[in-house]
């Protein structure tokens, strides 16, 4: 297929990395993907092998212990994995974007020395505790509080849908919390939101039982409870009161990576459909010879191509240091739509086989819905795009 050929505009090094991860995915991840999904269990042995490949350190400089790659290079790896297994793709994306990146960008020298080496090597994972029952897209509605008591923060509250928060190798969760109630320049009250590192195993920090999810079933996701959790004041991540602002910058990058993940899912459905349509014989001919099937797959190919162009553009802008928030929103919107549409079309092409969990397209059908919700709903992406046009 054309999608396996070197992508136009990528360097030899970028294409080599993409090919390496694609081969690793086909040989190592694909054989265990169904069982991991069935068991609702993150395969930590595979995570370790991903770490050995250097995937968790891709977009970080070598002096920090990373691979010195670009953000685009990192997203190429996410896309390649997502073709076959979205759970492991989101594990990598969240480990880098929500776990290691905020620490690298806003952490103190002491915090980085303590936690960053294991995160960039894949020996440890970290989560970011933002979402709450009443605070998701509206993070300003955060109810979790952190009160400074001497030289300790005392944290109380709950979080939900937190990725990589309860594995055997989770080292900490960075928690957004209201640290004060202040008045803005217009005289309106608002919450001062800060981010605080809570190491795994801290007394009062409870990782609740994992969710029974529709999709991404091998990804580690839990609700969290904080009951008078005490951590050192030095565990403040970044400047006090800048927790939400800092997270928004991380979220913009995350939308590019999720767009790459969605593109990979759309491509996985395309690849499976092409292969199946050439093999499945009905009324004496392969179904690929029927124009309706051929045209359906052609539309699937167009969606993959368009999605890839969108996230490549956003990633190049990010790497160039120019504004990219609007392009990230466009990429996330276009790619998540493509993943859902391709999953639906692929399942229809496969018929009854596509309704089986053993089928890659069946798992993509379940997995892809969350792509329209996570990292900001698609309605939020539309809001961002509209605002960039001076609308709304």
Strands 221-232 and 152-163: antiparallel
Separation CA 283–CA 118 (nearest Å): 57
Name the 3-class secondary structure at 330: helix
Radius of gyration of the chain, Cα coordinates, nearest whole angstrom: 21
Fill in the DSSP letter of residue 328.
H
Name which of 160, 185, 189 is nearest 173 in CA terms: 160
| φ, ψ dihedrals at 232, nearest 5° | -60, 150
Q: Helix, strand, or coil here: 348?
A: helix
CA–CA separation, 170 and 299 (whole Å): 41
8-state DSSP, 135: B
Active site residues: 375
* Integer angstrom CA distances of residue 11 from 4, 7, 16, 17, 367: 15, 9, 8, 10, 31
Count CB neighbours of 353 within 10 A. Answer: 14
């Amino acid at each position: 297929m054309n999608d396996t050929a070197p992508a136009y505009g990528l360097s030899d090094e970028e294409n080599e990395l993409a090919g390496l991860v694609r081969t690793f995915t086909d040989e190592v991840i694909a054989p265990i993907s169904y069982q991991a999904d069935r068991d609702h269990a993150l395969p930590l042995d595979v995570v370790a092998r991903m770490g050995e490949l250097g995937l968790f350190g891709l977009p970080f400089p070598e002096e920090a212990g990373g691979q010195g790659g670009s953000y685009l290079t990192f997203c190429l790896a996410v896309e390649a994995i997502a073709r076959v297994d979205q759970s492991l793709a989101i594990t990598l994306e969240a480990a880098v974007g929500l776990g290691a990146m905020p620490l690298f960008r806003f952490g103190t020298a002491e915090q980085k020395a303590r936690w960053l080496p294991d995160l960039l090597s894949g020996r440890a994972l970290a989560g970011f505790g933002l979402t709450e029952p009443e605070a998701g897209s509206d993070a300003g509605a955060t109810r979790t509080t952190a009160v400074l008591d001497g030289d300790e923060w005392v944290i109380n509250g709950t979080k939900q849908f937190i990725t990589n928060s309860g594995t055997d190798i989770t080292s900490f969760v960075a928690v957004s919390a209201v640290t004060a109630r202040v008045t803005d320049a217009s005289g309106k009250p608002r919450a001062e939101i800060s981010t605080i590192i809570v190491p795994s195993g801290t007394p009062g920090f409870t990782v609740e039982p994992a969710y029974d999810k529709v999709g991404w079933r091998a990804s580690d996701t839990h609700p969290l409870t904080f009951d008078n959790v005490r951590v050192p004041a030095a565990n403040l991540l970044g400047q006090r009161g800048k927790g939400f602002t800092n997270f928004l910058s991380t979220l913009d990058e995350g939308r590019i990576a999720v767009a790459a993940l969605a593109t990979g899912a759309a491509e996985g459905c395309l690849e499976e459909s092409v292969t199946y349509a050439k093999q499945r014989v009905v009324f004496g001919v392969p179904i690929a010879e029927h124009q309706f099937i051929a045209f359906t797959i052609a539309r699937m190919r167009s969606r993959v191509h368009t999605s890839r162009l969108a996230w490549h553009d956003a990633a190049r802008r990010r790497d160039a240091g120019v504004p990219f928030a609007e392009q990230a929103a466009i990429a996330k919107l276009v790619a998540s739509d493509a993943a859902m549409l391709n999953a639906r079309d692929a399942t229809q092409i496969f018929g009854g086989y596509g309704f089986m969990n053993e089928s890659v397209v069946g798992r993509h059908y379940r997995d892809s819905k969350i792509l329209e919700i996570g990292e900001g709903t698609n309605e939020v992406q539309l809001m961002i795009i509209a605002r960039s046009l001076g609308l709304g």
